[in-house]
Structure 1
Amino acid sequence: MRARIDEIVFDCHDPARLVRFWAELLGGDLVDRSADWSYIDPPGFVRLAFQRVPEGKAAKNRLHLDLDAGDVEEAVALGAVRMGAVVTDEHGRFQVLADPNTSNYQF
């Protein structure tokens, strides 16, 4: 048997807010199935789903998405939050951004 990834699900406090951020960033139609569950099917990628959970985030993420957003300023204008400085090395540069779900991050 070979399984396939059907969707990536993010626990959060506000699924409707996050699905709108990610839909604007990645494209795709958004669906609010309920107040507790929303998702998008970005073009060329697996479904991203957001489910409401009552508890806050307690530790560092064990999974994150590395995206080529093109213009970081556009992502920030959509609500992304800068996390630290721009990193530049011999392989290029990158900026760590968090989605608007900053209530789940511990600084």
Structure 2
Amino acid sequence: MRAPLWQHTVDRLGDTSTIMLSGELDLSADREVREAIIGELQRPGLTRLLIDMQAVTFIDSTVTATLVYTSNAAHKSDRQFTISPSQRVRRIVELTGLSYLLDPADR
């Protein structure tokens, strides 16, 4: 059996959730990444969602689009949405003009 190329965990503290993603995020991970994020956005009482991508080694355009989609969904429901990127993810975010997704501490 082959080990997954990526993993995620969720840490909840009060009205804040942190989804920690690691590994290679591509088309094969997209559906599960989207479901994990949307699932947390639907958590009652949530006001802030942080996507910790410090351990992400690769991200493709599909998952990048999912981050935009879920960011928009969060803002429509009055929830704060930010990502804390690895250097590779930061480069993609900056090149695509999506720096508004970054955690203010990471800008």
Query: Do these two structures clear the TM 0.5 threshold for a shared fold by scoring above it?
Result: no
By percentage of residues, which structure has more strand?
Answer: 2
TM-score, normalised with respect to structure 2: 0.29
